[in-house]
Amino acid sequence: MADGNDLGDDALNAAQRANVGLMLLKAARLFDERALERIRAFPGSPNVRPAHTRLFPLIRFEGVRATQIADHLGVTKQAITPLIQDLVNWGVVERVPDPADGRARLVRWTQTGRALMLEGLRVFRALEAPWREAVGRETLDTVHDALCVLVDQLER
């Protein structure tokens, strides 16, 4: 059996670092961790966890059904209901009737939630500052442009 110091592990590590998708996932996870550290440092900040932040890009200003969020994440509605309830309790989202189906409810940002999202984006911007220094503004702008194209392509 291989131990943690053999060439097989080195080859696996090299193969992982050569994979753009895996590096994007790792960078996103690390970025999320750093952002949450800063957000939790704000006085009175709720205990936002990565499970909550996975919901943020899926919540639309016009509203989205919880089942759509669950489907997108590949989990059950029951799995995300407590997370949505946390967001409701914190006053950042609300549940409103779906105008297309009176039996269904939509989850959407409150005014407080919108303001907090803008504050979170400022935190993100501050976290990017060292990247500009490390790789240069032009390179970071190129990475940003490429990521926008990739996201657009993946969303199709």
CA angle 150, 93, 108 (to 5 degrees): 60
Select the more confidently predicted residue: 8 or 35. 35
Q: Is 93 exposed, middle or buried (0-12, 13-18, 19+ CB in 10 A)?
A: buried
Read off the amino acid at residue 104: A
- 4-34 pLDDT tens trace: 555 688 888 888 888 999 999 999 999 999 9
Q: Could you give the CA distance from residue 153 to residue 156 in angstroms, rounded to a whole number?
A: 5
Q: Give the pair of three-digit tokens for residue 52.
A: 């909550």
- φ, ψ at 92 (rounded to 5°): -95, -20
Q: How confident is the model at residue 132 (pLDDT cuts 50, 70, 90)?
A: very high
